[in-house]
Each structure stands twice: as C-alpha cells, then as structure tokens.
Structure 1
Amino acid sequence: MRKILVIGIGAGDPDHLTLQAVKAITSADVFFILDKGQEKADLVALRRHILALHAGQRPYRLVDARDPNRDRTAPTPGYAPAVGDWRRRRADVCERLIRDELSEGECGAFLVWGDPALYDSTIGILEDILARGEVSFDFEVVPGVSSVSALAARHRTGLNQVGRPVRITTGRRLSEEGFPEDADDVVVMLDAHRTYLRFRDEDLHIYWGAYVGTPDEILVSGRLPEVADEISAVRAEARDRKGWIMDTYLLRRKPKQG
C-alpha cells in the first residue's frame, strides 16, 4: 500500500516544524511540490530549505508539478464553482503524481504551508482522489503551526478574551456577514480586498501581520481607526515589491457589559 503524509510545515519559519513533522519528513521517500510559478518561487525555495535542514542523509526524491491556476476574481455566486473546478484540476495533478511517481510500499509527502486542517485543500483533494477509485493509498496528517497561532504569538496576545469565543473566517465571509454578534475576536484569513477598512470607524483593535515567520515579516497593531491607513500602505508596498502577499489579522472589540 502506498502511504501519503500531509505535513504541516508552519507559517514560514523553519523552526516552526514540530518534532512529529521532522520525524515524518525523515520517513518519506518522495516529496511532491506544487509549483505556483515564478511569482511565488520563494514558497518552493522555503520547502527545499526545510528538506535540506530536516530530511537527514536518507535518500529521497523531489517531484515538481505546476499547480493549476484558480480564478480568484469570481463573484460570490460563482465562487464555489470556481473553487470546485480548481480542486478537480488539482486532484488530477496529485492523482497523476501518486500513480506515476510513487511505487507500492513507498511513502510520499506533501509539505503544507501552515496547518493542513485550516483553509487548506490537500486533505479534501486526497479524499476526492480516493473516492475516484483509480489509485489506492493510506494517508496521515501531521499538524503544523498555523499563521493564526504564529500571528498571536508574534503580537504577544491571545486569540480570545476571558470566557469569550473566537471566530476564524475569511475576508469574503466577513464582507458578506459583517462583524459577528456572537464573538468579540475575529481572525481573518485570505482577505484580498482589505475588508478591515469596512470597520475603520468602529472601536476595534487590530493585530495585523504579513509573511509571518519569514524574513519579510511585517507586523502592525493598534486601534483600527488609527492604523488602518498605515496597514493599507504597508500592504500595498509589500505586494508590489514581492508580487504576492499572505496576511492575517485579528480584529478585537471589548466585550459588551451586562
């Protein structure tokens, strides 16, 4: 039986890897790397650096494939179909890699940015491949340090206030639903449209970070009305300089009294 490891490698710092992740890396025969193109070449370079640090002397193979492009401009009604189409095409690529590049009895691995259980498609794609019935394998998931936990640590804050819930959502959902009534702390991921600007006149505190855990890390925090423009300016400059940006932020309001 082929075996697949889905290994969370943290938010960017090679030291984010858990001992379990390092152990998993040293047991893999093949590492599958999905290349997102020249614009995000440093993401591939980081994975190669992690392998150089942690794979040890055991021989292994690297297999690269181009990650299919996804339509990120689809409006809300077409968002789910666009993601579904991208996942199908990505499953096609991963199925081919597992079938053609991994022999029976070998162990292959996908190095997943952050934590595989949080806004990542790898687990779902492997389940889709198994459901097709064309190739069989067993898979195991190794948790990683998410950008959410790394963001809170770098800002030296918790994700929730005493006895209060925290919600983790996307920029798209926050834009559609507004700030939730049942949570005072909202972590926002995958926000390409600076949704925090919608709340710039409210009494909220923001903890914002981009490229958290990498040498390019940027952190800004403060009352949202006072730092919203600074975040937008810093974000725009960083995106222009690198060609892409990954940012996460926590919006916090004081709990209602009574």
Structure 2
Amino acid sequence: MFQLSLVGIGSGNPEHLTLQAIRVLESADIILLPRKGDAKTELADLRRMIASDVLKTQPKIVEFDYPVRDADTPKYLDGVNTWHDALATIWGGLIDAHAPKDGHIALMVWGDPSLYDSTLRIADRLLAQGLEIDVQVVPGITSLQMLTAAHAIPLNTLGAPVQITTGRRLRDFGWPEGVDTIAVMLDGENSFQSLAPEGYDIWWGAYVGMPGQILLAGELATIGPEIIQTRAEAREQHGWIMDIYLIRKR
C-alpha cells in the first residue's frame, strides 16, 4: 500500500510551513509537483524552492502539467468532475511509474487541503480506481487566515457565525441569511458588485502571504471600484491572480 500525504504549505511564505509539514515532506520518497502553465510559474517555483532550500533530505521530484479545465462545459460541476478524473489518471500513472513499492508520495497543496481544494476528492478517485493508498492530510495556513492576519481583524463579530462561500454563489443567490460576515473565495468576477454597496465593509487581499501581497479595505461603496481596478492591474502584471475577501454588514 502506498502512503499519499497531502501537505498544506500555506499561501506563499515558506516560513508558514509547519514542523509537521517539513517532517512529512522530508520523509517522502517522491514529491509530485504540478506545473500550471507559464502564467503561474511562481507557484511551481515556490514548491521547487521548498524542496531544494527548506528540506534537509532530497526526495525525488516528479513534475507534471496540470490539465486545463474546460470552462465551456454547460454544467459547472460536470466540467470540474471531468477535470478531477483527468488529474486522478495523471497521479495514478506517475505513482505507478515513479514510486517504489509501498512508497511514500507527497503533494504540496497551496493553503490547506480541506478548504476549497480538490486534492482530497482526487485522492478518493485513486481509491475508486483500485490503487491501494493510505491518505494522510497535513494542515496548512489558509488564505483566509492570512487575510485576517494581514488586516489584523477577527474573522467573526462577537458570538456571531461566519459563512465561507464562493463568488459564484454570491452572484447567484445573494447575501446568505443568518450571518453578518462572509468570506468569499474563488471569485474571478468581483462578485461583491452584486450587492448594494451601502452598509458593508470589505477587507480584500491578493497574493496574501507572498512578497507581492496587496491589501485594500474600507467601505464597500468607496473602496469597491479601487479593488476592481487594482485586481485588473495585478492580473495584467502577473498573468494570474489569487485573491480573497471578507465582507461584513455594518
């Protein structure tokens, strides 16, 4: 049986690796390292730097190209599931080709494997395909933690709940009932524009934890247009962007 370790590495700062994450990566026989196209070479470079400069051992690094999700699939979840099937096939082939018998395989996961990430679902597909693996999860600092720390704010108001959601759901269903704070992830369309801007505060961050971190905060009605412009300029400059924001009713 193979051991598959999904290791959260935080949001771009190698100092946020936990001691457990370092220990598990150092014990791996191979580390699978995804490449996500020329525009996102910084993400692969960070993983390479961790393997070469942080780890005291030298596990075998096996790089692979991420398949591109078909954004034109009529049903969003159908496209995502097809994409996950393709990734599971790639992982299985690499494990068969490069891992020793009963070997230990590790993947460095951006942020944390449990928060809006699909590595655990892909690992389930390996099990369904008959690959004998024991899955271990090593938690990492999430972009949400980085955002609240960077802005020096609490995630929730006193005794109140928080909802973590996506830009798609905010656009389609509006503000969720029963909460005064939402954290929005996976939003490529500035979905806060679907809200009436008065009466909300927003804390936004891009590349949180990385050297090029950008932070903006204020009343949504005032700062919203600046976030839209700043986001577009940053995406143009880097070729990619990862951002997240917290919105709270005033």
Alignment pair present for 1:148 and 2:147: no
Alignment pair present for 1:176 and 2:175: no
Q: SS at the partner of 2:244? A: strand
Render the CA deviation track for 1:57-100: whole Å, top value 9, x for unaligned: x23111011111012355xx610111011111111111111111
Q: Which moved more, 1:242-251 or 1:47-56?
A: 47-56
**Counterpart of 1:28?**
28
CA contact 1:209–1:217 (8 Å) conserved in 2 = yes
Shift of 1:200: 4.9
Please, which of 220, 225, 230 is the counterpart of residue 226 of structure 2?
A: 230
CA contact 1:200–1:224 (8 Å) conserved in 2 = no
CA contact 1:25–1:54 (8 Å) conserved in 2 = no
Alignment pair present for 1:15 and 2:15: yes
Please, which of 197, 212, 222 is the counterpart of residue 216 of structure 1?
A: 212
- Matching of residues 186-225 of structure 1 within 5 Å: 186-225=182-221
CA contact 1:114–1:144 (8 Å) conserved in 2 = yes
CA contact 1:26–1:54 (8 Å) conserved in 2 = no
- Matching of residues 84-95 of structure 1 within 5 Å: 84-95=81-92
**Counterpart of 1:63?**
62
Distance in structure 1 (CA, Å) of the matches to 2:72 and 2:20 = 37
Matched residue type, 1:32:
L
Alignment pair present for 1:252 and 2:240: no
Matched residue type, 2:140:
G
Distance in structure 2 (CA, Å) of the matches to 1:72 and 1:246 = 18
CA RMSD of aligned residues (A): 1.2
**Counterpart of 1:78?**
75
Distance in structure 1 (CA, Å) of the matches to 2:89 and 2:203 = 38
Matched residue type, 1:242:
H
**Counterpart of 2:93?**
96
TM-score (norm. length: structure 2): 0.97
**Counterpart of 1:5?**
5
Distance in structure 2 (CA, Å) of the matches to 1:193 and 1:108 = 36
Q: Matched residue pairs, number?
A: 250
Return structure 1 stretches of 4+ with deviation > 6 angstroms: none
Matched residue type, 1:91:
A
CA contact 1:4–1:137 (8 Å) conserved in 2 = yes
Shift of 1:199: 2.0
Render the CA deviation track for 1:210-255: whole Å, top value 9, x for unaligned: 000001110000000000111011100000011111000000013x
Distance in structure 2 (CA, Å) of the matches to 1:152 and 1:52 = 30
Gaps of 5+ in 2: none
Q: Which moved more, 1:195-204 or 1:14-23?
A: 195-204
Gaps of 5+ in 1: none
Matched residue type, 2:82:
D
Alignment pair present for 1:113 and 2:110: yes
Matched residue type, 2:154:
G
Matched residue type, 1:81:
D
TM-score (norm. length: structure 1): 0.94
